[in-house]
Amino acid sequence: MNRRRTVFQTLEGPRNTGTLILGFLLCCAALLPTPGFGATYQVKQDGSGDFATIQVAIDAAVAGDVIVVHPGTYYENIRFEGKNITLRSLDPEEEETVASTIIDGGQNDSVVKFRGTEDETCLLSGFTITNGKGYKGGGIRGEDGTLDPSPSTHARIAHCVITRNSVAKTGGAWEGLGGGLCHCDGEISDCIITENLAIQSGLGGGLFECDGVISNCTISGNLASYGGGLEDCGGFYSGRVQLINCTISGNWAYSGGGISGCYGSISNCTISDNHAVEFSGGGVDRCSGRIMDCTISGNCANEHGGGLDRCGAELINCTITSNSAQNGGGLFDCYGEISKCTISDNTAQKCGGGLSFCDGPISNCSMIGNLAGYDGGAFYFCITTITNCAIIGNSARWGGGLCHCRATISNCTISRNSARELGGGLYGCLGPITGCIVWGNEAEQGRELHRCQGLITHCCIRGWTAGGEGNISDDPLFVKGPLGDYYLSCAAAGQAADSPCIDAGSDTAESLGLDELTTRTDGSPDTGTVDMGYHYPPALAQNPYIECSLNESEFAPGELLVGMVEAQNPGPDVAVDVYVAFVLPDGAIVSLTSSGLTAGIHSWVSNVVLPSGFHFGPSEVLQTTVPHRPGSYLFAAALTEPGQFEFIGEPSLFSFRIAE
């Protein structure tokens, strides 16, 4: 575990969750946090502090107090009893301090128990929490069952290691819930949740029914019957959970090895090497929130959905690779929209190396190098629309690229796929096929396509002799470009000849939504009559950039203003200074800094290295109560070279008003 500040933590900066007041500081207006006035108590085992045990300190504390626990192993099962206090170690962000400040539950009960009435001003930070045992929340239980109905705590949990706790059936309980944490609805951030158990039909080896934001956490090596890493977070009815910038790896369960039954959004996460050892959903199972900007790799399921199983919301800009299952090596029975994803090198022992029985629209995806033992190397039995996909180098017995798909297939490039028997490119597809390039596939029979009964128009198919509107059989003249090997040769882009597939499609690029994409190596977007085949996104700019936004564009005095920031670096590693600020109606500037908001131009973070591929947010960086000062304001963010005021790219400006 590394407790040094990561790039993500550094960029996140201070989270001003208390009320902030907008007023004038010197000749400029500034945002200032409201200070706390609670007492601070020291807990030391040797008796030299205010208290020798944590529970006695909690019993003595009142709302707003801070309890600082010095290193040592405290053999206790502590209860917050609804108190909105801060309980922390000496230095919650330092690895050695967290490792040496231990609360050991002695397998007597949950190590930490909240009453459930605590709000977000309550904080638990900087401990190793271990050796708890119960039937709910072996490490941390967010409600104590004394209230009816039992609320779940909204206390924040940060910089903790929650490890080697367990839950199991006890008494009349049906199952153990949440080996690590259970019913914690406050923000959980920068935690390591590892090697916890929910056995005997238990749910959620790491977390169960935690409905708040979970960010910058590592959830690994946990075991449960269902939901090895997380189970039912978000809840069917609330759908509130946001899983952001987390690593979920090496968890085990009968079903839902990594994540199961979660209904909130999942973004910027790595979900890898999880196992569903009996049933389905090696990485993600039965999740209905949007999944975006995630890497889902190396997961396996005994039955269906090595990467994802039965997920129903949008899947956007994800990499799904090297997963395996009997059916649907990458995805099985997913019915939400799938777009801008790379689905590669997945394996199904039976059908659908990439996807199987997926019912939602699939667009702008790359399907590369997937393998099925029987049918459908990339796709098996998908039934809606498959649009603008590159289906390359997949293999199966029947249908190296696609098998038994009833979908409308349009503007796809289907090449270098192979079938041991029938249909190298496509087999038994019943929907219309239009604007596609089907070229260079191999099979014993029907090397390009076999027994496809849908109407085929405006396609380029090797060896095609069956006629049909707009179909050709000429070599498409593929050339290598910035993002792959299947651009079309174009004299205007510097090649020797024009591909016959240029301007040979069924409609205009604009009407098909392909006019911002390209088939040319120079990145020029497609215009006029659409080109056949897959269209690449424009090659990404190499400069890092930052964007800022607010929850509203017009506010009344007293309302809550929430500031968000997103930053990306598609190019090589680069060092930057980061600026986030308000510009007031009179032109005065108030900057967000590492210590709060301050009048004048000041960097938020200085000389921070953004690695290649870096993506942060969009994440909340501040909250404030809108002041009684009407006018037009700007929320601004910018990147500069370290120590200089020279912008990298354009600043991001979000305008807003405060009404009379």
What is the tens place of the pLDDT at every residue in 523-551? 999 999 999 999 999 876 667 889 999 99
Query: What is d(CA 246, CA 265) in angstroms, rounded to the nearest whole number?
Result: 12
pLDDT score for 342: 97
pLDDT score for 349: 97
Per the DSSP assignment, residues forming a β-bridge with 380 are 356, 403
Annotated domain spans of the chain: 7-33+541-658
Provide, rounded to the nearest whole percent, the portion of the chain with pLDDT above 70. Answer: 92
Q: Who's near 577: CB < 8 A, 6+ residues apart?
A: 603, 605, 606, 607, 608, 639, 640, 641, 642, 643, 644
Q: Please, what CATH class does the domain formed by 7-33+541-658 belong to?
A: mainly beta
Average of per-residue pLDDT across 550-578: 88
Provide, rounded to the nearest whole percent, the portion of the chain with pLDDT above 90. Answer: 70
Whether 29 shows a pLDDT value over 50: the answer reads no
**Confidence tier at 18 by pLDDT (50, 70, 90):** very low
pLDDT score for 19: 28
What is the tens place of the pLDDT at every residue in 651-660? 899 999 998 7
Report helix, strand or coil for 396: strand
Q: Which two tokens stand for residue 610?
A: 């953004």
Terminal Cα-to-Cα distance of the chain (whole angstroms): 51
| Run of H or E residues at 96 | helix 95-100
The top-scoring range by mean pLDDT among 39-43, 383-387, 451-455, 480-484 is 39-43
Residues 323, 329, 330, 336, CA torsion sign: negative
**Confidence tier at 275 by pLDDT (50, 70, 90):** very high
Query: What is d(CA 179, CA 537) in angstroms, rounded to the nearest whole number?
Result: 44
What is the tens place of the pLDDT at every residue in 75-125? 999 999 999 999 999 999 999 999 999 999 999 999 999 999 999 999 999
- What predicted TM-score, i.e. pTM, was given to this entire model? 0.80
Q: Please say whether the beta carbons of 252 and 299 come within 8 A.
A: no
- List strand residue ranges (DSSP E) for 147-233, in order: 156-158, 161-163, 166-167, 181-182, 188-189, 192-194, 197-203, 207-208, 213-215, 218-220, 223-226, 230-231
Average of per-residue pLDDT across 559-563: 90
CA 484 vs. chain centroid, Å, equals 25
DSSP state of 620: E
What is the tens place of the pLDDT at every residue in 32-76? 333 345 899 999 999 999 999 999 999 999 999 999 999 999 999
- List strand residue ranges (DSSP E) for 317-407, in order: 319-321, 324-325, 331-332, 338-339, 342-344, 347-348, 355-356, 362-363, 366-368, 371-372, 379-380, 385-387, 390-392, 395-398, 402-403
pLDDT score for 644: 77
Is-cis flag, bond preceding 149, omega within 30? yes
Residue 628 Rama label (left phi>0; alpha psi -120 to 50; beta): beta
**Confidence tier at 448 by pLDDT (50, 70, 90):** very high
Average of per-residue pLDDT across 188-206: 94
Can you give 519-530 as a three-state secondary structure string? CCCCCCCCCCEC
pLDDT score for 66: 97
**Confidence tier at 515 by pLDDT (50, 70, 90):** very high
Considering only 279-283, 431-435, 500-504, 645-649, which range has the smallest mean pLDDT?
645-649
Whether 358 shows a pLDDT value over 70: the answer reads yes
What is the tens place of the pLDDT at every residue in 388-436? 999 999 999 999 999 998 889 999 999 999 999 999 999 999 999 999 9
